[in-house]
């Protein structure tokens, strides 16, 4: 199993299980749940068997009728002290567990989230280790209904599954009891702190950032290489057709995405670093940094998954019709990447989590509290420091971002307060402002990414020549996103219309300046042809030969006249209709 662990844990995994991996959740959810939420005894009981592959698990939380809202889960686990067992039950069709990867046919165990009932009281969702299939025959156990949920947009080599229980009994000790416990007599012991579970979510969300950024790397490598091979149209009449990468509109599609790869990298790396730095102090009960970490991981998960999915699609479309061919691999990279927008915390919900933290911080700052690093700029400052930037240096642009987000947050906070003052319940007022709240969150996380990109490049241990290229990419990222959000900068007075014109001209200059480095930059990602798996993106550039070779393999091409001709087409054509 060691080899499999290595393969699945690295970028190589995608070359083996091209469209989703049924063992993925075993490694990234089942085992981490036991480690993060099981007692030392429970870890001892299960981890060895899981590690050796003797049992294969998944993580069953989402239900047919319940996703993001954990407290809405309907599956029940009712403690029966007479036998010291929990009785798992799915009371409705909507309580059916639905979506977990590997659940349909692969896994024989799962960590199942269910509402814990003991002594007639519900204590909310808790994790249970549940055996689903016989370890010898692999047949589903009595009381357990299991199946696969049917075809999907992508990830079809994963057997995403459904699961319902009919009064299925498991031992009391299968409740993962690191945080809360149920004693033999049914006494519920609550966790010392209910925020401890956040840690695992931070881990999973940052892991998603790294995953989506790898997908974008692949897509932008394919698009860049193809754009250097493909020739089209005339730049100057009578001249040969240029590489399409010469067109500014093509550079505009691709170069900011190369920058995005680095932007996500530096931002996720920074959150990851903080997470590891504070994990020790979290276990010592110091939870101060958890809300900040939680917010950043929510926001970066949303930013990276939507940037990556949109970026992959931009890459696909930048290859024209040929990007639509499966053999380009861009369709599959897209269908895989876009899944991250809705899984593990749907992005809109993530943005609203970030917004909640922003509004809370903004209010605290007004009350004189000191704010954490990522939001410290929300602290009120004397008006003079808000003055218009006199230059457009990187530092000035980052400061302009701070002014723009502060202004946005201030405006929506005032609107929220106004609605509450006029008698609206806070929750309704929140909902009535939520489009703007989500926007605040997006611009805040964009600002965070710009700042981390900049400081990441400044600190990177690379040659000065390389730093020069990276700095240009970072500048492109800053300018690109300021122009994209220009309304926020203009309305807050952070930048003027004439600054914007200057930045637009600089954008054109940056695209031209980065164009010669484009191919080297994606080559530096060093992705093997087997992992790219693309006729358009192969290292040797033999695009058209490879497309032709791939087409010949199509099942339809095994006969000149297909059977369907005799069956359907000929009768139609000869019928003289």
Cβ–Cβ < 8 Å for 75, 113: yes
Binder to its own copies among 291, 410, 541, 562 (CB under 8 A)?
Answer: 562
**Residue with smaller CB distance to its own copies, 62 or 304:** 62
Size of the site for its own copies (CB under 8 A): 126
Could you tell me the smallest distance in angstroms from the CB atom of residue 430 to its own copies?
Answer: 9
Among the residue ranges 186-194, 372-380, 395-403, 487-495, the one whose residues contact its own copies (CB under 8 A): 487-495
Q: Does 512 bind its own copies (CB under 8 A)?
A: yes
Rounded CA-CA distance 111/28 in Å is 12
Could you tell me the smallest distance in angstroms from the CB atom of residue 264 to its own copies?
Answer: 20
Binding string to its own copies for residues 212 to 251, with x set by CB under 8 A, is what? ------------------xxxxxxxx---x----xxxxx-
Rounded CA-CA distance 256/495 in Å is 21
With CA atoms as reference, report the closest residue to 448 among 298, 574, 229, 249. Answer: 298
The one catalytic residue in 292, 344, 451, 452 is: 344
What angle (nearest 5°) sits at the alpha carbon of residue 488, between those of residues 486 and 492?
120
State the pairing for strand pair 57-60/109-118: parallel
Could you say which residues in the range 390-419 bind its own copies, by CB under 8 A? Answer: 411, 415
Could you tell me the smallest distance in angstroms from the CB atom of residue 533 to its own copies?
Answer: 13
Task: Measure Cα distances from 134 to 31, 130, 142 in Å.
Answer: 20, 12, 10
Binder to its own copies among 17, 47, 131, 152 (CB under 8 A)?
Answer: 152
Q: Does 65 bind its own copies (CB under 8 A)?
A: yes
Binder to its own copies among 82, 463, 560, 567 (CB under 8 A)?
Answer: 560
Could you tell me the smallest distance in angstroms from the CB atom of residue 247 to its own copies?
Answer: 6
Could you say which residues in the range 3-32 bind its own copies, by CB under 8 A? Answer: 4
Q: Does 487 bind its own copies (CB under 8 A)?
A: yes
Tally Cβ neighbours within 10 Å of residue 363.
14
Among the residue ranges 29-37, 124-132, 524-532, 548-556, the one whose residues contact its own copies (CB under 8 A): 548-556
Binder to its own copies among 431, 466, 520, 524 (CB under 8 A)?
Answer: 431
Q: Does 334 bind its own copies (CB under 8 A)?
A: yes
Rounded CA-CA distance 449/443 in Å is 10
Q: Does 137 bind its own copies (CB under 8 A)?
A: yes
Could you tell me the smallest distance in angstroms from the CB atom of residue 431 to its own copies?
Answer: 5
Could you tell me the smallest distance in angstroms from the CB atom of residue 432 to its own copies?
Answer: 6
3-state SS track over 113-136: EEEEEECCEEEEEEEEEEECECCC
Rounded CA-CA distance 10/530 in Å is 14
Which stretch of DSSP H or E encloses residue 170? Answer: strand 168-171
| CA atoms lying within 13 Å on the CB side of residue 26 | 28
Could you say which residues in the range 247-266 bind its own copies, by CB under 8 A? Answer: 247-250, 252
Q: Is 344 a catalytic residue?
A: yes
Task: Measure Cα distances from 46 to 3, 28, 49, 318, 320 in Å.
Answer: 20, 15, 6, 48, 50
Among the residue ranges 190-198, 218-226, 285-293, 427-435, the one whose residues contact its own copies (CB under 8 A): 427-435
Could you tell me the smallest distance in angstroms from the CB atom of residue 200 to its own copies?
Answer: 20
Contacts of 139 (CB under 8 A, 6+ apart): 133
Q: Does 420 bind its own copies (CB under 8 A)?
A: no
Could you say which residues in the range 526-545 bind its own copies, by CB under 8 A? Answer: 544-545
**Residue with smaller CB distance to its own copies, 210 or 247:** 247
Contacts of 368 (CB under 8 A, 6+ apart): none
Task: Measure Cα distances from 100 to 30, 57, 58, 84, 303 in Å.
Answer: 11, 10, 7, 28, 23
Binder to its own copies among 15, 35, 149, 289 (CB under 8 A)?
Answer: 149
Q: Does 421 bind its own copies (CB under 8 A)?
A: no
**Torsion from C-alpha of 70, 72, 73, 78, nearest 10 degrees:** 110
Among the residue ranges 38-46, 132-140, 182-190, 518-526, the one whose residues contact its own copies (CB under 8 A): 132-140
Binder to its own copies among 170, 261, 282, 325 (CB under 8 A)?
Answer: 325
Could you tell me the smallest distance in angstroms from the CB atom of residue 342 to its own copies?
Answer: 5
Cβ–Cβ < 8 Å for 325, 534: no
Catalytic residue list: 344
């Amino acid at each position: 199993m060691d080899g499999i662990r290595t393969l699945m844990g690295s970028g190589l995994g995608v070359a083996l299980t091209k469209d989703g991996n049924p063992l993925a959740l075993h490694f990234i959810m089942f085992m981490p749940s036991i480690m993060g939420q099981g007692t030392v005894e429970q870890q001892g009981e299960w981890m060895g068997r899981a590690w050796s592959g003797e049992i294969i698990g998944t993580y069953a939380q989402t239900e047919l009728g319940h996703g993001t809202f954990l407290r809405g889960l309907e599956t029940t686990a009712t403690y029966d002290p007479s036998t010291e067992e929990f009785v798992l039950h799915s009371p409705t069709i909507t309580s059916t567990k639905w979506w977990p990867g590997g659940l349909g046919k692969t896994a024989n165990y799962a960590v199942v989230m269910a509402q814990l009932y003991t002594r007639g009281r519900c204590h909310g969702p808790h994790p249970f280790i549940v055996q689903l299939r016989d370890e010898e025959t692999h047949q589903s156990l009595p009381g357990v209904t299991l199946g696969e949920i049917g075809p999907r947009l992508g990830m079809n080599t994963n057997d995403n599954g459904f699961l319902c229980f009919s009064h299925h009994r498991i031992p009391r000790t299968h409740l993962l009891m690191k945080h809360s416990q149920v004693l033999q007599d049914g006494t519920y012991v609550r966790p010392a702190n209910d925020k401890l579970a956040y840690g695992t979510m931070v881990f999973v969300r940052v892991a998603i950032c790294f995953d989506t950024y790898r997908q974008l790397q692949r897509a932008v490598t394919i698009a860049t290489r193809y754009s250097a091979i493909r020739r089209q149209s005339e730049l100057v009449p009578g001249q040969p057709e240029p590489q399409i990468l010469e067109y500014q509109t093509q550079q505009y599609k691709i170069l900011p995405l190369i920058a995005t790869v680095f932007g996500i990298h530096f931002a996720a790396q920074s959150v990851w670093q903080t997470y590891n730095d504070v994990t020790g102090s979290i276990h010592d009960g110091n939870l101060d940094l958890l809300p900040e970490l939680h917010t950043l991981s929510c926001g970066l998960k949303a930013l990276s998954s939507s940037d990556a999915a949109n970026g992959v699609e931009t890459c696909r479309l930048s290859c024209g019709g040929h990007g639509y061919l499966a053999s380009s691999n861009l369709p599959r990279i897209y269908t895989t990447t876009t899944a991250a927008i809705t899984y593990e915390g749907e992005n809109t919900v993530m943005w609203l989590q970030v917004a909640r933290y922003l509004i809370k911080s903004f209010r605290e700052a007004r009350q004189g509290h000191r704010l954490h690093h990522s939001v410290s700029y929300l602290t009120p400052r004397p008006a003079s420091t808000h003055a218009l930037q006199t230059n457009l240096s990187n530092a000035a642009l980052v400061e302009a971002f701070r002014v723009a987000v502060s202004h946005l947050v201030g405006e929506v906070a005032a609107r929220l307060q106004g609605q509450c003052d006029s008698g609206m319940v806070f929750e309704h007022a929140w909902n009535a402002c939520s489009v703007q709240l989500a926007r605040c969150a997006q611009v805040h996380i964009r600002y965070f990414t710009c700042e981390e990109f900049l400081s990441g490049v400044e600190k990177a241990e690379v040659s000065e020549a390389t730093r020069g290229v990276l700095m240009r990419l970072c500048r492109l990222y800053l300018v690109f996103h300021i122009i994209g959000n220009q309304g926020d900068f203009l309305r807050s007075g952070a930048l003027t219309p004439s600054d914007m014109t200057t930045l637009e001209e600089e954008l054109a200059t940056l695209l031209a300046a980065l164009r010669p480095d484009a191919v080297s930059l994606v080559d530096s990602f060093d992705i093997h042809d087997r992992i790219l798996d693309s006729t358009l993106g192969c290292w040797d550039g033999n695009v058209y030969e490879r497309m032709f070779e791939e087409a010949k393999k199509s099942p339809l091409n095994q006969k000149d006249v297909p059977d369907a001709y005799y069956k359907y087409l000929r009768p139609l054509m000869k019928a003289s209709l």
